[in-house]
Structure 1
Amino acid sequence: MIRTRNPRRDDRIILDLVKRELFAYTLQTMPDLRWDAAEVRRRLNRNVTFVAVPGRLKTVGFASVKKNGKDMFLDMLAVDRDSQGRGWGSALLKEAERYARNKGCSTVRLFVDEANGKARMFYARYGYTEQGYIPTVRSIAMSKTLQPLPVKNVRQPM
Structure 2
Amino acid sequence: MIRYRRPKQDDAVIMHLIETELVPLSSMTPKQLDEIKKEMPKRLSQGVTLVASSCYEGDAIGFVHFMLHGDLLYIDMLAVAPAAKRKRWGILLMIQAERFAKSRGCKRSKLMVDTVNSSGLVFYSKLGYSTIRLHSSSQSYELEKFL
Q: Same fold (TM over 0.5)?
A: yes
1:70 aligned residue:
71
TM-score (norm: length of structure 1): 0.87
Gaps of 5+ in 2: none
Gaps of 5+ in 1: 147-158
Give the total of aligned pairs: 144
One-letter amino acid of the counterpart of residue 63, structure 1: V
Larger C-alpha radius of gyration, 1 or 2? Answer: 1
**1:28-81 deviation line (CA, Å, top 9, x unaligned):** x33444334221222111110000001253210000110111101000000001
1:15 aligned residue:
15
Choose between structure 1 and 2: higher strand proportion. 2
- Aligned partner of residue 33 in structure 2, secondary structure: coil
2:3 aligned residue:
3
2:54 aligned residue:
54
**1:76-117 deviation line (CA, Å, top 9, x unaligned):** 000001110011000000001001101100001000011101
Moved more, 71-80 or 33-42: 33-42
Distance in structure 1 (CA, Å) of the matches to 2:46 and 2:104: 16
TM-score (norm: length of structure 2): 0.93
Identity %: 33
Over aligned residues, Cα RMSD in angstroms?
1.2
For residue 127 of structure 1, report the CA deviation from its aligned partner.
0.3
8 Å contact from structure 2 (residues 9, 59) kept in 1: no
One-letter amino acid of the counterpart of residue 7, structure 1: P
